[in-house]
């Protein structure tokens, strides 16, 4: 960007409020980094205050972080970030952006980005996204000979069945002998799960305790095919964003689960392939149009800001 243009258009200042939960931070940084790809942006991270301190700061019009000048956007994911977002706005100004359905009234926030499974309709201040946002970028060097198996565990959305997942993994391995598979677990995976896996020449196991924060994005960038247990919805959307062909193992679903409904929507739209359908046809639906939800949301926010400036 020419120096004269940069001087007249200072960087967008984005404050990311974090509750310390990796999944929530992943969503907020995914959006902030997408904004930075679209326009010069300065990203600042600050921890969410304990609830009582955040409400007191809001009441006293006290900034949670006195070192940060007026932000343009204040982004947060997770209920624990909401009071800090509001306190920051009252003390410093800027626009609040909440990710996922907030526990407080939505009208208290300037913008909401909500996953489809939250069941909220879009409006002038609300954008509906396909799943939770993430930091994954579409990969350009995927290898069809490399695959990834992402194993979750017990959740309220699906009835976990280790034996059923083991049978499905064995079937995938047996029918794809020329693919080198890497399997990893999550914090929710039952402790005995890995011990039950039989040795297989085309399978490499990496427990989640042996992975770094960059491990999964790096593997997703390399893998042409990814199989995921349906309870790991965020990993399903990350794999779709990376551009891999995605299969989803079968587990009994809680009929009231919004995550289960989201997985069903992806299957009906042929973005993913259920295990039972793969068994019948032997192929996965190709991922011809990788998701880019963080980038789409960033463009929506920038357009909204532009329109706000015109009307003020």
| Structural domain spans, the chain | 3-135+293-311, 143-281
Contact partners, residue 238, CB within 8 Å, separation at least 6:
134, 136, 216, 217, 220
Question: What fold is seen in the domain 143-281?
Answer: Rossmann fold (3.40.50)
Helix, strand, coil in percent for the chain, rounding step 5: 40, 20, 40
Positive or negative, the Cα torsion across 185, 157, 262, 252?
positive
Compute the half-sphere exposure of residue 124: CA atoms within 13 Å on the CB side of its CA: 4
> Do 143-281 and 3-135+293-311 fall under one CATH topology?
yes
- In tens digits, the chain (312 residues) has pLDDT values of 444 344 457 899 999 999 999 899 999 999 999 999 999 999 999 999 999 999 999 999 987 776 777 899 999 999 999 999 999 999 999 999 999 999 999 999 999 999 998 889 999 999 999 999 999 998 877 888 999 999 999 999 999 999 999 999 999 999 999 999 999 999 999 999 999 998 899 999 999 999 998 999 999 999 999 999 999 999 999 999 999 999 999 999 999 999 999 999 999 999 999 999 999 999 999 999 999 999 999 999 999 999 988 776
The model scores a pTM over 0.85 = yes
Positive or negative, the Cα torsion across 212, 135, 22, 145?
negative
CATH for 3-135+293-311 is 3.40.50.2000
Q: Are strands 12-18 and 180-184 parallel, antiparallel or unpaired?
A: unpaired
């Amino acid at each position: 960007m020419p120096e004269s243009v940069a001087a007249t258009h200072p960087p967008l200042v984005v404050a990311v409020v974090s509750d310390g939960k990796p999944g929530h931070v992943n969503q907020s940084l995914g959006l902030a980094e997408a904004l930075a790809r679209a326009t010069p942006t300065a990203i600042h991270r600050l921890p969410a205050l304990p609830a009582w301190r955040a409400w007191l700061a809001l009441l006293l019009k006290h900034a949670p972080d006195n070192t940060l000048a007026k932000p343009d956007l204040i982004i947060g994911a997770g209920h624990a970030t909401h009071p800090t977002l509001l306190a920051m706005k009252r003390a410093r100004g800027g626009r609040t952006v909440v990710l996922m359905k907030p526990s407080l009234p939505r009208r208290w926030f300037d913008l909401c980005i909500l996953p489809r499974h939250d069941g909220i309709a879009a409006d002038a201040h609300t954008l509906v996204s396909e799943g939770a946002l993430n930091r994954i970028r579409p990969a350009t060097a995927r290898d069809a000979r490399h695959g990834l198996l992402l194993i979750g565990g017990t959740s309220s959305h699906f009835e976990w069945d280790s034996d059923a997942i083991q049978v499905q993994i064995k079937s995938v391995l047996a029918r794809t002998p020329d693919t080198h598979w890497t399997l990893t677990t999550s914090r929710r995976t039952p402790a005995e799960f890995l011990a039950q896996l039989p040795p297989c020449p085309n399978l490499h196991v990496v427990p989640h305790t042996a992975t770094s924060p960059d491990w999964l994005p790096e593997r997703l960038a390399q893998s042409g095919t990814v199989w995921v247990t349906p309870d790991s919805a965020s990993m399903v959307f990350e794999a779709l964003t990376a551009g891999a062909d995605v299969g989803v193992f079968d587990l009994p679903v809680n009929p009231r689960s919004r995550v289960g409904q989201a997985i069903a929507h992806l299957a009906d739209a042929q973005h993913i392939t259920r295990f039972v359908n793969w068994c019948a046809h032997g192929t996965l639906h190709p991922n011809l149009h990788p998701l880019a939800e963080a980038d789409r949301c960033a463009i929506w926010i920038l357009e909204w800001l532009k329109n706000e400036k015109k009307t003020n």
